[in-house]
Amino acid sequence: MPALIEAKNVTKIFGGGLLDKSRTVALKDFSFQIDSDNPSVTSIVGESGSGKTTLARMLLGLAAPTEGEVLYNGKNLEKLGGSDRRQFLRDVQVIFQDPFEVYNPFYRIDHVLETPIKNFKLADTEKGRRDLMIESLEAVGIRPEEILGRFPHELSGGQRQRIMVARALLLRPKLIIADEPVSMVDASLRATILGSLLRLNREFGISLIYITHDLTTAFQVSEDIMVLYRGSLAEAGDVDQVVRHPEHPYTRLLVGSIPLPDPDLPWEGERAIGRPAGELGVQGDEYCQFHDRCPYAMPMCVQTHPPLFHTHPNRVTSCYLYRESPELPMPQMTSIFKSSNREGPPEETEQLDALDAELEVSQENSSTPTSADD
């Protein structure tokens, strides 16, 4: 059975030809797939310019890869026919970063929920429509009577983002791609939004791709993680192992730079900003993207791009420090993910119990918001 969605050796280049200075390789030779049978939660982590949003846009069919292809149920996304395309638009939903810009300020909140119901003919009657809306709002912990009939400006960023989650849920998709869904939301509301996303995964079997620059929340919500650096995969695998014992020097730097909320834990970063260009004699564009910042850079790092080394059953690292380990071809990368190696849904965690308790509390406590609340 083909994967629900698969990126096959995709490369995305912005800008002109080889000699064009503005040519930017946003993502290079990247492969990745999401199964339809095993609902998974996968994080894609990287800084600005790492290619994480470019990857999301290609998986959504919003940008076409320069090389390689994106397949949906085994068919090329760019060549999907009418009914397949409709099914794709239903199966794969997205939640964007900015909960303020996605709403049309002239329409009531109901509009954003009614539109998909009408477009996909999810309900025939007015009552059916209303029931669907109420059901999915309640699933994300929002009291329908508090928000239906209101205008976007009357709601807080956290509420708006949760309504986006509810909108995605209406369509019962197989996959939700969330691109920085909490980066514009207050810290105290982040947990609630991520919680409602996790709930969709556990209760409705929806896979999640969580795209973020924040390693801490990625660690909290996902099973598997991919760390991107300047368009290439640096490291991927089981989130516990990658975050707690990072291998790639870039991941180590990233983990060390996180200011942890405990004054007794160390905070270490990178004081020197790069080594002089050309010190290692870079030729062509086949090199490790991190070599100019890497404390362990070796001559081989600038000769060929490091392949993926299969360092542990559940992880790979694209770094020559691990060249003793067997290589794993990029297209097989996803096979190391925990989600690909288990039967059925992920284990129940205490996270979810805590979440249920919390959602109940927030249902009871949340009072009517006013426009002045943020």
Partner 1 sequence: MVEETLSAEEPTAAELKETLKVEDLHVYFHTAAGAVKAVNGVSFSLKSGERFGLVGESGSGKSTIALSLLRLIKPPGKIEGGHVFLNGTDLVTLTEEQMRRKRLDEIALVAQGAMNSLNPVRRIRDQFILAYKDHDIDVKRSGLEERIGDLLTRVGLNREVANMFPHELSGGMKQRVCIALAISLSPSVIIADEPTSALDVVVQWQVMDTLRSVQEDLGASVILIGHDMGLMAQFVDRLGVMYAGKLVEIATVRDMFGDPLHPYGQMLIASLPSLESRKARLEGIPGITPSLLNPPSGCPFHTRCPKVMDHCSSVTPILQEVRPDHWVACHLYEEA
| Beta carbon of residue 308, minimum distance to partner 1 (angstroms, whole number) | 23
**What is each CA distance from 126 to 119, 171, 255, 314, in whole angstroms?**
14, 17, 51, 49
Report the C-alpha gap between 227 and 239 in whole angstroms.
10
Which residue in the set 67, 78, 131, 186 belongs to the binding site for partner 1 (CB under 8 A)?
Answer: 186
Which residue in the set 210, 219, 309, 320 belongs to the binding site for partner 1 (CB under 8 A)?
Answer: 219
Contact call for residue 213 and partner 1 (CB under 8 A): yes
Which residue in the set 102, 134, 189, 282 belongs to the binding site for partner 1 (CB under 8 A)?
Answer: 189
DSSP 301-319: GGTS---EEEEETTEEE--
Contact call for residue 72 and partner 1 (CB under 8 A): no
| Beta carbon of residue 192, minimum distance to partner 1 (angstroms, whole number) | 4
> Among 68, 108, 105, 72, which Cα is nearest to 89's?
72
Q: What is the CA radius of gyration of the chain?
A: 22
SS3 content of the chain, % helix, strand, coil (to 5): 40, 20, 40
Contact call for residue 365 and partner 1 (CB under 8 A): yes
How would you classify the pairing of strands 67-72 and 5-14?
antiparallel
Query: Which x/- pattern, by CB under 8 A, does the window 153-172 give for partner 1?
Result: ---x----------------
Which residue in the set 9, 36, 216, 325 belongs to the binding site for partner 1 (CB under 8 A)?
Answer: 216
Contact call for residue 358 and partner 1 (CB under 8 A): yes
Q: Interface with partner 1 by CB under 8 A: which range of 54-62, 110-118, 180-188, 295-303?
A: 180-188
Which residue in the set 38, 192, 232, 339 belongs to the binding site for partner 1 (CB under 8 A)?
Answer: 192
Query: Which x/- pattern, by CB under 8 A, does the window 238-277 give for partner 1?
Result: -xx--xx--------xxx-xxxxxxxxx-xxxxx-x----
Report the C-alpha gap between 118 and 245 in whole angstroms.
48
Which residue in the set 28, 52, 129, 190 belongs to the binding site for partner 1 (CB under 8 A)?
Answer: 190
Q: Taking CB under 8 A as the criterion, which residues in 297-356 touch partner 1?
A: 349-351, 354-355
Q: Interface with partner 1 by CB under 8 A: which range of 13-21, 62-70, 171-179, 219-227?
A: 219-227
Report the C-alpha gap between 131 and 148 in whole angstroms.
12
Residue 5: how many CA atoms within 13 Å on its side-chain side? 30
Which residue in the set 22, 83, 125, 367 belongs to the binding site for partner 1 (CB under 8 A)?
Answer: 367
DSSP 98-166: -TTTTS-TTS-HHHHHHHHHHHTT--SSHHHHHHHHHHHHHHTT--HHHHTT--GGGS-HHHHHHHHHH
Burial class (CB in 10 A: 0-12, 13-18, 19+), 226: buried
Buried/exposed 238-260: b ≥16 CB within 10 Å, e otherwise: bbebbbeebbbbbbbbbbeebee
Angle between helices 187-204 and 157-170 (to 10 degrees): 10
126 vs 264, beta carbon nearer partner 1:
264
15 vs 299, beta carbon nearer partner 1:
15
Structure tokens at 275: 């080594």
| Beta carbon of residue 213, minimum distance to partner 1 (angstroms, whole number) | 6
92 vs 215, beta carbon nearer partner 1:
215
| Beta carbon of residue 29, minimum distance to partner 1 (angstroms, whole number) | 24
Contact call for residue 145 and partner 1 (CB under 8 A): no
Report the C-alpha gap between 342 and 251 in whole angstroms.
26
Query: Which x/- pattern, by CB under 8 A, does the window 33-62 give for partner 1?
Result: --------------xx--------------
- Contact positions toward partner 1, by CB under 8 A? 47-48, 156, 186-192, 194-195, 198, 213-217, 219-221, 239-240, 243-244, 253-255, 257-265, 267-271, 273, 349-351, 354-355, 358, 361-362, 364-367, 369-370, 372-374
